[in-house]
Structure 1
Amino acid sequence: MIVHSLIRGRLRVFEVQRAGGHWCVQWRLGQESGVDEQCDNFTDLDFHECFLGTTLNIKLLLYTKTNLHCGRQMNHHQLFSQPLFNLSLPTAFVIHGYRPTGAPPVWVDHLVQLLTEQRDMNVLVVDWNRGAANLNYFTAVANTRQAANNITGFILNMQAEGASLSSVHLIGVSLGAHLAGFVGANLKGKIGRITGLDPAGPMFTGATAEERLDPSDAMFVDVLHTDMNSFGLQGQHGHIDYYANGGFDQPGCPKTIFSGKSYFVCDHQRSVFLYLCALNRTCSLTAYPCSSYSDFLDGRCLQCEAFKPASCPVLGYDVSQWREVLLRLDQTKAYFTTTATLPYKKVSYRVDMVTWNQYLRWGVVILRLHSGKNFTEARVDRKLIRFEQYTSTRLLVQFDEDLQPIQKISLRIATGNVIGPRYKIRLLRIRLTPLEEPDRSLMCRYDIILEENIDVAFRPLPCDTRL
C-alpha cells in the first residue's frame, strides 16, 4: 500500500507492508514513487539582512489548484521541466512591493488561493524580497527595473513556448504596481491586464508615463487607490481607477502617530484587503464613475448610464461586463465608500425629496431604517443642504448594515436651531431607491410635515410610478 503525506512542506511517499504479523513502513524514493518533493517557500529575511542591504535575486513560485499549498520554483529557461505549469491556461503574476522588514507578505497565500478559485490558472508569486527588503527605499526603487527585465524574459520564454500574452495578468502591490508597469512597457503593452493596488507614491510623484504604471502598459489596466496622501500615488493611472473613500484616509485606520506602525501602513495596505474581499465575493464593492469624490457624495453620479444594460463597475477579478465600455471611455475615475471592517460594503440608497416649506432652511439629514427592534442610521452631514419651496433634492445615503425587510423609516432634518422657534418643513415626497439591489422595491412616502430637529417616523409605501 502506497501512502502520501505532506510533512513540514515535503511530500513524503511511504510503502506500508504487513510482514510476520507486523506493519512495516518504508520511505520510498525514486522515479516510481514520485521522488521526495520539497516545497519552495517565499524568502524570509530578518532585520539584520535588511539593515546591511540585500542583492536582487528573483524566485518565481508556481501555484495551481493541484499544489495550492506547496509552491514550486520555476526555471526561467526550462518551462516544461515543471509539469504543473500549463501554458494553455491563463497566468497571473503576483508582485509584492517594498519590504522594509524582510518578512513575507501576510496576504500572499490568501491571494493565491482566491485567484485559483476564480478560474483554472497558473499563479506565479514573484519573490523579489532580496532586492525589495532594504532599509534604503531608493535601492528598492532602483531594483524594480532589473526585476522587471527578469520577469519580461520569463514571459517571452512563455510566449516562445506557445503562451498568449493576452492571457497574462500582472497584479502589483505598491512598488510592485510600477514593476508590473515596467514589464508591460517592455512587452509593448501587449499583455492582457495589469491590476495595481495602491501604486507607490514616493519617488513616483510627478513621474512621466514611462517612469510609472500607465494605461498603455497593458491591454487593460485597473488601479485601486487607498492612500494617495501618503504612500500611494495620486492621479489616474489605468483605464479605470477606483478610489476607495476618495482614495485617501480609510475608515478604521489610526488617525494619530501614537498608534505605531499601523498609523503608517493601514491605509496603504487596505487596498490589498479590499481586493481580497472582492475576490472572495463576500463584499460586492460597486463603484460609481464620477468626475470627483465630492460630486459622488453629493449624489450626482449614481446612474452609470454609459454602462447599461450592465451595472456600474464592481471591484474584482471579472471585468468582462465593463471592459469594452471602459476601453472606449479611455480613462475612468470611479468612487465607492466602505465600512471600517469586513465585509467593508456599505448599503447605498438614492434618496429623492421634494420640499414645499414656506421658509428657506439649511440643515443635514439623519435617516434611520428599522427592521423589528434593529435599526441602522446614516447622517448626510458633509455639508448643509438647502430646503426651500418646491425644490427637488437628491442625496446619496449609505448605511453600514443591510436590514431587511424595512418596516419603518425615521427622518430628521437637523438645522442647528436651538434658540428660535422650530420651523416646519413639508415634504411632498420622499423616495428611497436601493442602488445595488435592483430586485428590491422602491420605498416612498407622500406629504410629510416635519419639525426641524425632531424625528418623524413613517412606514414606507410602494411608489406611485406616475409621480
Structure 2
Amino acid sequence: MRTRQQQQEYIQFSTYRTDPELVTHHFLLWTRRNPNEFQELLINDTAALQASNFDRKNPTRIYAHGFTGNGQNHWSLRLRDRFLEKEDCNFINVDWRHLAAGPDYPRAVANVQLVGSLTGSFVKFLVLKGADLRRVHLIGFSLGAHVVGKAGQTMNGEIPRITGLDPAYPLFEEASADEVLDKTDAKFVDIIHTNAGKLEEGRKGFPFTLGHADFWPNGGSIQPVR
C-alpha cells in the first residue's frame, strides 16, 4: 500500500510524464453515413475534417475510454451504436489505448492530463471550424472521465455537458480539483456511480459526489449480474 505522499507524487506526474511528441492518440469519427467504419480526425487538420462525414449542424458526442480500453472495443462500439440509433450525430471516440495500456496503472493515470488537454484542443478546433459548442457532450468512463474533465477545464468550463461513468478513484484519493472531473469542468456535470468504493473492497469508482447531479443505481457500488 502506497503512502498518501507517494500517491500524490504519482498524481503530480513527476515520474511518468509522457513526452508530448511521442503521444499516440486518435480521434475516431462515426456518423449515420459511416456507422461501421471510422474516419480519423486530427487536431488542426482542416483537410481531414472537410473530407470526413463530420456535420457541423449535428450534435457532437465525444467518448473517452478507461484503463486498458480502446476506442474500438465492445463497450466503446456499443455506446457508439446506441447514440447513432438515438440521434443523427457526430460520434467520436478518443482512442488513447497506448497511453492507457496495462499493466502499469500509475503510468496511465499520469497520461490523463495530457490526453485531456489534447482532447480540449480538439474540441476547440471543431468549434473553430463551425461545430456548435452548445451541442457538444463529453462522456468518459473510469480514467476517461478525468480525461474529459481535463478537456472541459481546457475549455474553461464552457462545455454544456460532461457525463462521468464511474470516474476512477485509485490514485486520485488525494488529487486536487484540477486533476479530477468535477462540476467546475462544464456547465452541467452528471456522474453515474456503479462501482464506487475503495480498491481494497474491490471497487474502483469515486465514492462521493463530484458533479451537479450524481446518480447511484442500486446504491452505486454493486450491480446485479445479468
Which category describes the TM-score, using the shorter chain as reference length? 0.7 to 0.9
Give the superposition deviation at 1:104: 5.0
Higher relative CO (Cα under 8 Å, sequence separation at least 6) belongs to 2
> Residue 214 of structure 2 corresponds to which residue in structure 1?
241
Give the superposition deviation at 1:164: 2.5
> Residue 64 of structure 1 corresponds to which residue in structure 2?
31
Secondary structure at 1:57 match in 2: coil
Secondary structure at 1:131 match in 2: coil
Structure having the higher strand fraction is 1
> Residue 122 of structure 1 corresponds to which residue in structure 2?
90
Secondary structure at 1:69 match in 2: strand
Residue 91 of structure 1 aligns with an amino acid whose one-letter code is T
Determine the C-alpha separation between the residues in 2 that align with 1:69 and 1:121. Answer: 14
| Aligned counterparts, 1:5-404, within 5 A | 56-79=23-46, 80-99=49-68, 105-229=73-197, 230-252=203-225, 341=226
Q: Residue 96 of structure 1 contacts residue 105 of structure 1 at CA under 8 Å; is this kept in 2?
A: no
In structure 1, runs of 5+ residues without a counterpart are 1-54, 253-340, 342-467
Residue 71 of structure 1 aligns with an amino acid whose one-letter code is F
Give the superposition deviation at 1:120: 1.3
Give the superposition deviation at 1:84: 0.5
Q: Residue 75 of structure 1 contacts residue 81 of structure 1 at CA under 8 Å; is this kept in 2?
A: no
Cα RMSD, aligned residues only: 1.7
Secondary structure at 1:190 match in 2: coil
Determine the C-alpha separation between the residues in 2 that align with 1:60 and 1:84. Answer: 13
Q: Residue 90 of structure 1 contacts residue 167 of structure 1 at CA under 8 Å; is this kept in 2?
A: yes
Q: Residue 180 of structure 1 contacts residue 194 of structure 1 at CA under 8 Å; is this kept in 2?
A: yes
Give the superposition deviation at 1:83: 3.4
Q: Rg larger in 1 or in 2?
A: 1
Determine the C-alpha separation between the residues in 1 that align with 2:58 and 2:133. Answer: 11
Go from structure 1 to structure 2 and tell me whether the alpha carbon gap of 1:71 and 1:159 turns closer, same or farther (over 3 Å shift): same
Q: Residue 56 of structure 1 contacts residue 143 of structure 1 at CA under 8 Å; is this kept in 2?
A: no
Q: Residue 197 of structure 1 contacts residue 224 of structure 1 at CA under 8 Å; is this kept in 2?
A: yes
Residue 190 of structure 2 aligns with an amino acid whose one-letter code is D
Secondary structure at 2:35 match in 1: coil
Determine the C-alpha separation between the residues in 1 that align with 2:79 and 2:127. Answer: 25
Give the superposition deviation at 1:103: 9.7
Give the superposition deviation at 1:96: 0.1
Secondary structure at 2:184 match in 1: helix
TM-score in terms of structure 2 length: 0.82
Go from structure 1 to structure 2 and tell me whether the alpha carbon gap of 1:69 and 1:104 turns closer, same or farther (over 3 Å shift): closer
Q: Residue 166 of structure 2 contacts residue 206 of structure 2 at CA under 8 Å; is this kept in 1?
A: yes
The CA deviation string for residues 370-419 of structure 1, in whole angstroms up to 9 with x for no partner, is xxxxxxxxxxxxxxxxxxxxxxxxxxxxxxxxxxxxxxxxxxxxxxxxxx
Of 230-239 and 203-212, deviating more is 203-212
Determine the C-alpha separation between the residues in 2 that align with 1:228 and 1:70. Answer: 35
TM-score in terms of structure 1 length: 0.41
Go from structure 1 to structure 2 and tell me whether the alpha carbon gap of 1:70 and 1:103 turns closer, same or farther (over 3 Å shift): closer
The CA deviation string for residues 331-361 of structure 1, in whole angstroms up to 9 with x for no partner, is xxxxxxxxxx3xxxxxxxxxxxxxxxxxxxx
The CA deviation string for residues 273-327 of structure 1, in whole angstroms up to 9 with x for no partner, is xxxxxxxxxxxxxxxxxxxxxxxxxxxxxxxxxxxxxxxxxxxxxxxxxxxxxxx
Determine the C-alpha separation between the residues in 2 that align with 1:177 and 1:82. Answer: 30
In structure 2, runs of 5+ residues without a counterpart are 1-21, 198-202
> Residue 442 of structure 1 corresponds to which residue in structure 2?
none
Determine the C-alpha separation between the residues in 2 that align with 1:92 and 1:221. Answer: 14
Determine the C-alpha separation between the residues in 2 that align with 1:141 and 1:83. Answer: 32
Give the superposition deviation at 1:227: 1.1
Residue 207 of structure 2 aligns with an amino acid whose one-letter code is Q
Q: Residue 59 of structure 1 contacts residue 74 of structure 1 at CA under 8 Å; is this kept in 2?
A: yes
Secondary structure at 2:74 match in 1: coil
The CA deviation string for residues 228-269 of structure 1, in whole angstroms up to 9 with x for no partner, is 1221111111111110111112223xxxxxxxxxxxxxxxxx
Secondary structure at 1:170 match in 2: strand
